[in-house]
Chains A and B, each alone.
Chain A
Amino acid sequence: MTADGPVAVGSMRDVVQQSDVIVCCGSGGVGKTTTAAIIGMDAARLGRSVVVVTIDPAKRLADALGLSMGLSSAPQRIGGVGVDMGAGGEMWAMMLDTAATFDGLVRIYADDEQQIDRILSNRFYRNMAGAMSGTQEYMAAETLHALHNDNRFDLVVVDTPPSRNALDFLDAPGVLSRFLDHRVFKLAMLPTRSGLKVFGSAAQPFFKAIGRVVGSDVLADSMAFFQAFSGMETGFRERADDVVALLRAERTNFVVVASPRHDTITEAVWLAQQLGDQGVGVAAAIINRVQPSFGVIDVPTGVEVPGASRDVVSALWKNLGELQQIRRAELEALEPLVALIEPAPIALLPLLDGDIHDLDSLDQVAQHLFLERNRC
């Protein structure tokens, strides 16, 4: 882009080439989805068959990928319009459908149609499949697992839900297991002398109290769910263990995405530390929307230009000075993250002078993925 332009290094490319799964994580609003799309695009260019799973794509991103009808919950192939995908490279994209994914799991592990119906029509289940905290993360991990085992793809790129705690993603498959391990669940399953009543007698006062808080019909729904779910815990638990194993596999890499501001960098640092504590390293960091460099120069204090041009030139210097000041502040904000994750590669993606509205503009950003961070 500029005279002091970035120098190519291979390390970010190594991450793309040597991964089976890439998980993009970071706080909300930092451009995780766009980043996932850019990584996918580059992988396709390297000749890989990549599928990008996004959680909450803006319509504009679907448009940019040439999917005017929006992303669907089944993988769609992205045409290589304007972009050379490389020999054998393919790019696919899809959107996470939390509830449908959960339904799919129920179908796999239920004993018969009747059990499927009882669960899928239960209101408590519908709430859980749609809204329980952790469900979205869990289903993203589950989808990742399914795609990983799909022969069409040799790389899965996923962005994580805009969770306050991005580690929820790593823990997510365990959420349901823990939920099922709750004492409540066990209490609800206690057999009574009169057979399988709505709930065991030992737990009655307790459930009555809960019923008083949330209302008795809500409670009845919950109890019905726990009973319908009975017998499926083992299957769910084993599957969750497989998913966790995949998230921790050697060829699964976590990429931290941030914007060049103190608050999101603080979140990213915290996240990288947590991932490190979990024994899952950060393979790379991507900083989105960095003020571009127009070159490094000291802005002169006085401008000596003849006559009428003087004001114009000094305004141009002032503009350059302001943009440089922003860039300096941004690069300084990055320092804690750089210090923490080096020597892992850090890519700076520039703020564009237009919207990302087609594959070309995505590609314009993607060019910067494999360039070394250039410092002022």
Chain B
Amino acid sequence: MVAGKGGVGKTTVTAVIARAAARSGNRVLVIELDGKPALDKLLPDHDGEELAVVHLSAPDALEEYLNDHGFRRIAKRLNRTGVIDMVGTAAPGIDDVVVLGKVKHYEKSTEYDLIVVDGPAAGHAVTFLMSATGLADAVRGGPVRSQADDVLELLAEPERCMTVLVTLPETTPVNETIETAYALEDDVGIRLGPVVVNGVDQGTELPKVGEVETALQAADLGDAVTDMLRDAAAFRRSRRSMERKAIDRLAVGLPLDQVQIRALPVAGLDADDIDALADELLVKSGS
């Protein structure tokens, strides 16, 4: 389960993990939840790798669930009358639980060695993962209750399920990640995997501060160019020091392994970028 707030790059991280796992010979299934499909494009078929992408939406999962549980007759009616809204309100989290139930179904099938779930887009990772707890409290019996129980069992078993939190190397995302981590561990009791810091600047190495002025004077490039070079270096130095501080604070606040994914000088990753980042991840993890 890959979780994190909007804009931190959950989808990127999902794709990198999935590709890296497939490269190491695992049969991988990637599950994309509601929202716009993006992973098909990032994870095209490669020879010799087993990697499939499926898209799950809550209303579809709910209807399928009802069909499979002997409610075929009312499932149609439920959807037609818009009762799904009402059911969702009466028992909040039911849609999330049904989606998680579907994930569990794939897990049980043993067709895959690893299932990677790209968390909900709206960034409600905690509510999503806690939906089963809330629902199990609210609903005392019936098929939904047993579904919630099954999901809780899956989430609680560290051998079967692990949640990877994704963050950016910046103050606010790091603060929120630390809070989310404790909420997930304390309230849901799930196992947290390494925390992924996405978009870390690992570009060109900057010269030492003391050497810059002497070198610029020696180069004699004119005021305008000298200023550009100096400002650009100072800016990047400052950004990096900010990133480093955020990463250090994350390490202190959240004693989990950290995996860093570097920033690429682009405005959005493509499939080749994902392949490259996956290879780097494999090198780093030594497998």
Q: Mark A167-194, 1 if CB is under 8 A from B, else 0.
A: 0000000000011001110000000000
Query: How many residues does chain B have at the interface if contact means C-beta atoms less than 8 Å apart?
Result: 74
The reply to whether A210 and B78 contact each other, CB–CB distance below 8 Å, is yes
Residues of A close to B206: CB separation below 8 A: 315-316, 319
B19 to chain A, nearest CB (A): 18
What separation, in Å, do the CA atoms of A311 and B230 have in the docked complex? 15
A222-B86, A260-B267, A354-B238 known; A30 vs B7 contact (CB < 8 Å): yes
Residues of A close to B231: CB separation below 8 A: 2, 294
What separation, in Å, do the CA atoms of A275 and B86 have in the docked complex? 28
Instruction: Determine whether B68 belongs to the interface, using a CB cutoff of 8 Å to chain A.
Output: no
What separation, in Å, do the CA atoms of A353 and B225 have in the docked complex? 20
The reply to whether B212 and A353 contact each other, CB–CB distance below 8 Å, is no
In chain B, what residue has the closest Cβ to A226? B86
The reply to whether B77 and A213 contact each other, CB–CB distance below 8 Å, is no
Give the A-B pair count, Cβ closer than 8 A: 209
The reply to whether B144 and A213 contact each other, CB–CB distance below 8 Å, is yes
Instruction: Determine whether B259 belongs to the interface, using a CB cutoff of 8 Å to chain A.
Output: no
The reply to whether B34 and A164 contact each other, CB–CB distance below 8 Å, is yes
- Listed residue (B36, B86, B92, B176) with the most chain A CB atoms within 10 angstroms of its CB: B86
Q: Mark B195-233, 1 if CB is under 8 A from A, else 0.
A: 000000001111100011011101100001101111111
Instruction: Determine whether A219 belongs to the interface, using a CB cutoff of 8 Å to chain B.
Output: yes
The reply to whether A215 and B89 contact each other, CB–CB distance below 8 Å, is no
Instruction: Determine whether A88 belongs to the interface, using a CB cutoff of 8 Å to chain B.
Output: no
Residues of B close to A320: CB separation below 8 A: 228-229, 232-233
Residues of B close to A219: CB separation below 8 A: 90
| Cβ-neighbour of A127 out of B78, B92, B212, B267 (below 8 A) | B92
| Cβ-neighbour of A3 out of B11, B224, B239 (below 8 A) | B224
A313-B216, A319-B206 known; A182 vs B228 contact (CB < 8 Å): no
A262-279 with Cβ < 8 A to chain B: 262-264, 266-267
The reply to whether B218 and A305 contact each other, CB–CB distance below 8 Å, is yes
Q: Is the interface of A mostly helix, strand, loop or mixed?
A: helix
Name the segment of B102-110, B134-142, B276-284 touching the other chain: B134-142
The reply to whether B171 and A355 contact each other, CB–CB distance below 8 Å, is yes
A215-B139, A315-B207 known; A58 vs B176 contact (CB < 8 Å): yes
The reply to whether A206 and B74 contact each other, CB–CB distance below 8 Å, is yes
Residues of A in contact with B, size category = 35 or more
B234 to chain A, nearest CB (A): 8
In chain A, what residue has the closest Cβ to B34? A164
A28-B7, A333-B268 known; A322 vs B216 contact (CB < 8 Å): no
The reply to whether A297 and B144 contact each other, CB–CB distance below 8 Å, is no
Residues of A close to B126: CB separation below 8 A: none
The reply to whether B215 and A316 contact each other, CB–CB distance below 8 Å, is yes
In chain A, what residue has the closest Cβ to B73? A209
Instruction: Determine whether A97 belongs to the interface, using a CB cutoff of 8 Å to chain B.
Output: no
Residues of A close to B235: CB separation below 8 A: 292, 294, 323, 353
Please name 16 pairs of A and B residues whose Cβ atoms are closer than 8 Å in the assembled complex, sorted by A.
A28-B5, A28-B123, A30-B7, A58-B175, A59-B175, A128-B89, A182-B85, A184-B82, A261-B268, A264-B7, A266-B36, A307-B218, A309-B214, A315-B204, A322-B203, A322-B204
Interfacial residues, chain A to chain B (CB-CB below 8 A):
2-3, 27-30, 58-60, 124, 127-128, 130-133, 162-164, 178-179, 182-184, 206, 209-210, 212-215, 217-219, 221-222, 259-264, 266-267, 292, 294-295, 297, 303, 305-309, 311-313, 315-320, 322-323, 325-326, 329-330, 332-333, 351, 353-355
Interfacial residues, chain B to chain A (CB-CB below 8 A):
5-8, 11, 34-36, 38, 66, 71, 73-74, 77-78, 81-83, 85-92, 94, 121-123, 138-145, 170-172, 175-176, 203-207, 211-212, 214-216, 218-219, 224-225, 227-236, 238-239, 242, 265-268
Q: A319-B236, A353-B234 are in contact. List 15 more A-B contacts (CB 8 A).
A: A2-B228, A58-B175, A127-B89, A182-B81, A182-B82, A183-B81, A184-B82, A213-B144, A215-B140, A215-B144, A259-B7, A309-B218, A319-B206, A323-B232, A354-B238
